[in-house]
A and B are shown apart, each in its own frame.
Chain A
Amino acid sequence: MKAHRWFTPWVLVLPALLWLGGFSLWPSINTLRLSFTDAKPLGGGADFVGLRNYTDLFNDSQVWDALLNSIVYMAICLPLLTALPLLIAILVEKPLRGIAFFRTAFYTPVIASAVVVGLIWTWLLDDRGFINNVSQKLHVIQEPLPFLTDRWLVIISAVSLTVWKGLGYYMIVYLAALGNVRQDLHEAAMMDGAGPIRRFWSVTVPAVRSTIFLVSILVCVAALRVFSELYILTGGKGGPGGQDSSLVMLIQQYARGFYGDLGYASALSVLLFVVTLIPMVVLARINSRADR
């Protein structure tokens, strides 16, 4: 008995394949093609310009600033966002009265738009906002700190926002993994007199190691893709002299208007792609070495 006609599966996957081709595969190739042209946002002809966009990248100080920002961003996000969400996941894992409420509440920053939380933090970090006022009141600082206008404080502020918004997301990823940790291992360790900290290191961490690896890749790639946080906190300007831009902010800037340059924006996109591959390759290396 034939279960289905030969074309039935193809009819079902066709729309999804069309989208995959039209909005993922073709754009990937087209990005590379465009990066060798001088295409403009408003249309019209695009001429081949060879490697000009790429040589321009090298001489563009904003690109170097953006890369430096990305490295700093990643270096701070990586330890914080792989460790803190795991601790929070352990905190909310076991049943307790009202735990569903806490889980949902911790997830709230994730569902809010980056624009919404960006504006909330802009107000919190204002010269006369909550954080500066309370810190002065508690005599932690004498003068308000320029969180939104100082070259490096802007990056620190955006990192804090990214970490805060990511806690709930990675908590959920860890929760799914913690569900698979064998309970008898914990019990055996307890019999041996291992305290909670000891059990964390010798039972929990090894059991969720592959998830820690996954999360660290996700965190690195997310840090390199940062856009909304920096855009909103700096009012779209990228801080003093545009030094606080990310690669994606530069891509967005060149994507718009009469003076936009889609060819250059595409070269920036190719650079972004290459840069996101680096942490993936490095972390995959580390992971496979640890397996041996």
Chain B
Amino acid sequence: MKIKILRYALLVFVLLITVGPFLWELSTSLKSGSEDIYTSTPNLLPQHPTLDNYSRVADAIPVFRYIGNSLIVAVLVVGGNIVFSTLAGFAIARLRFRGRGIVLGLFLATLVLPGEVTIISQFVTVRDLGLADSLIGVALPMMIAALNVLLLYNAFRALPEDIDQAAIVDGANVWQRLTRVSLPAVRGTIAVVAIFSFIAAWDDFLWPLIVLTSPDKFTLTVGLQYLSGTFAKDQRLVAAGTMIAFLPIALFFALLQRYFFKGVEEGGVKG
């Protein structure tokens, strides 16, 4: 019993540290212009809660446009990763072919390379394709990540060999074996890939900052940085902007967290 209380106390302590800053930002974003936000004893609860700061964000920057831009990038990235990582992961794990080991080795080798190292020449590639300052240019390099190919490779490899043999005897072709036999068994890993790639696309900052130059093409993170640069003194406004960027992804994760933690327990996220 004593240990249980101690555990809860520690859990609440860590909770305050991890979630507290978000609550403070949320509180700031709801405080009206007449309320002092610099009080020496912080007030977590706004005296007169208002959504006024949120509508002011929409006046200061085209925030709905930025949300739309971020969504376009995220949809392309999630779609590309799910489809192409599944195809590649399946082929490497379940089909025998000459050169399979080399292909797998290539995917493993790129994991060591930090993405920032190649970001300049990636920009050169995207620019030479005529895609600089475009949303497609932002999404394109992220559409198939080596890590996701390997995650699905691991998931497919974990399935028993027999199920393929049985399907082959029944005359199933490769496509049927993938869609009817293997795919339903790796749904958890696909969910993890979807969650990871959505978060990666939605949160990315450095790459869109390099690719995009026109303010109307900005994704939400770049637009938010722009907002804070222009209105840095108005903490209520910046707080409302950060909440606009944060709440959708928090909601998205809260809805899918069951699949995420299940995928983790199945060994979806290892090394």
Contacts and interface: CB of A to CB of B under 8 A. Distances in A.
Contact of B235 (A1, A24, A123, A265): A123
A269 B116 contact: yes
Given A6-B97, A20-B107, A235 B232 contact: yes
B10 A91 contact: yes
A183 to B, nearest CB: 16
A120 B124 contact: no
Contact of B113 (A3, A24, A179, A231): A24
A194 interface: no
B46 interface: no
B110 A108 contact: no
A102 B11 CA distance: 7
A38 to B, nearest CB: 13
A181 interface: no
Given A16-B144, A20-B107, A128-B38, A113 B246 contact: yes
A69 B42 CA distance: 33
Given A30-B124, A105-B19, A111 B199 contact: yes
A255 B123 contact: yes
Nearest to A269: B117
B163 interface: no
Interface string B1-22: 0001001101100110111011
Contact of A115 (B96, B164, B224): B224
A236 B144 contact: no
Nearest to A94: B7
A221 B114 contact: yes
Contacts of B205: 113-115, 227-228, 231
Nearest to B178: A12
Interface string A1-45: 101101011101101110110111111101100100001010100
B118 to A, nearest CB: 4
Contact of A96 (B7, B24, B265): B7
Residue among A119, A179, A266 having the largest count of chain B Cβ atoms under 10 Å? A119
A113 B203 contact: yes
Contacts of A255: 119-120, 123, 210
A106 B124 contact: no
Given A23-B141, A173-B269, A39 B124 contact: yes
Contact residues on A (Cβ < 8 Å of other chain), bracket: 35 or more
The dominant DSSP class at the A interface is: helix
Nearest to A21: B106
A153 interface: no
B98 to A, nearest CB: 8
17 contacts: A24-B146, A30-B125, A106-B15, A108-B22, A112-B22, A119-B228, A119-B239, A124-B24, A133-B38, A173-B269, A176-B267, A227-B205, A232-B225, A251-B116, A266-B120, A269-B117, A273-B114
3 tightest Cβ-Cβ pairs between the two chains A and B: A16-B88, A113-B203, A27-B118
Interface of B: 4, 7-8, 10-11, 14-15, 17-19, 21-22, 24-25, 28, 38-42, 84-85, 87-88, 90-92, 95-97, 100, 103, 106-107, 110, 112-114, 116-125, 127, 140-141, 143-144, 146, 149, 164, 168-169, 173-174, 199, 202-206, 209-210, 221, 224-225, 228-229, 232, 235, 238-239, 241-242, 245-246, 249-250, 253-254, 257, 261, 264-265, 267, 269-271
Interface of A: 1, 3-4, 6, 8-10, 12-13, 15-17, 19-20, 22-28, 30-31, 34, 39, 41, 43, 88, 91-92, 96, 100, 102-109, 111-117, 119-124, 126, 128, 130, 133-134, 136-137, 164, 167-168, 172-173, 175-176, 179, 214, 221, 224-225, 227-228, 231-232, 235-236, 248, 251-252, 255-256, 262, 265-266, 269-270, 272-273, 276, 280
